[in-house]
Amino acid sequence: MTSTPIRHAFAQLDDQPFFFLTNGEADFLARLCDVLIPEDDFPSASQAGVIDFIDIQMNGGYGQGEGLFLEGPFAQGTPEQGFQLPMTPAEFLRAGIAEAMKSLPDDPEQIVGYVTALSKDEIALGDLSSKLFFDEVWKLTNQGYFADPIYGGNADYAGWKMVGFPGAHAYYLSFIDKHNRPYNQPPMGVNHIPGGDGAMPLIRHQTGGKDNG
């Protein structure tokens, strides 16, 4: 699979490498995530910063397994029990990407079928379940596209504009008595600055990141 640099969705990050992902891993995730949320009247997943969101999550508490019990023995769990693996989410994602990159087709027209096969557990990923890997990527894609932009995704409020969600307006006093009327205010995030896109504050590496070659 040919690896090409993935552009950050937020200008603050343009001069920084990814925190966790390599460029090859970011390229792979962009191909998958853009199948799950393709570009139409709204940006695709990668255009909306989903890869940045995943990168930050994998480098943070969630990806590093904070709050997870990671000591054995590890019995076979049920789907209802959630994450039941002897690795952190970041380790699982990286291992899954490494296996999946071996069989990801270069032809864009074949990638939809490949992602469908992943979701049905029909792709060999070594000792990993391809469905569990797909479910993790699908979950992170949804979170990155629709979470507040302060977490690194939903650039320019793409997800909120898609579903008509106004976001985190602090005051509604002037609208309290206006029932059953459209609320036509533009989206606002936690970090919203008038005229801005609600993007995250400028952030720096916490762990030094990976070699992004």
Question: How far lies 162's CA from each of 8, 109, 135, 144, in Å?
Answer: 21, 25, 22, 14
Strand partners, 125: 128
Q: pTM, whole model, 2 decimals?
A: 0.82
pLDDT tens-digit series, residues 55-66: 999 999 999 999
Do 210 and 20 form a contact (C-beta atoms < 8 A)? Answer: yes
- Contact between 6 and 23 under an 8 Å Cβ cutoff? The reply is yes
Say how far apart CA 16 and CA 8 lie, in whole Å.
9
Cβ(3)–Cβ(23) below 8 Å: yes
DSSP H helices, the chain, are 23-36, 50-59, 89-100, 108-119, 130-146, 158-163
Task: Return mean pLDDT, the chain.
Answer: 83
pLDDT, tens only, 87-142: 999 999 999 999 999 999 988 889 999 999 999 999 999 999 999 999 999 999 99
CB–CB of 3/26 below 8 Å? no
Q: What is the pLDDT of residues 17-58, one digit of tens each?
A: 788 999 899 999 999 999 999 999 999 999 999 999 999 999
Of 206, 45, 59, the closest CA to residue 137 belongs to 45
Q: What is the distance between the alpha carbons of residues 69 and 97, in angstroms, rounded to a whole number?
A: 23
CA distance 80 to 48: 31
- Does residue 60 sit in helix, strand or coil? coil
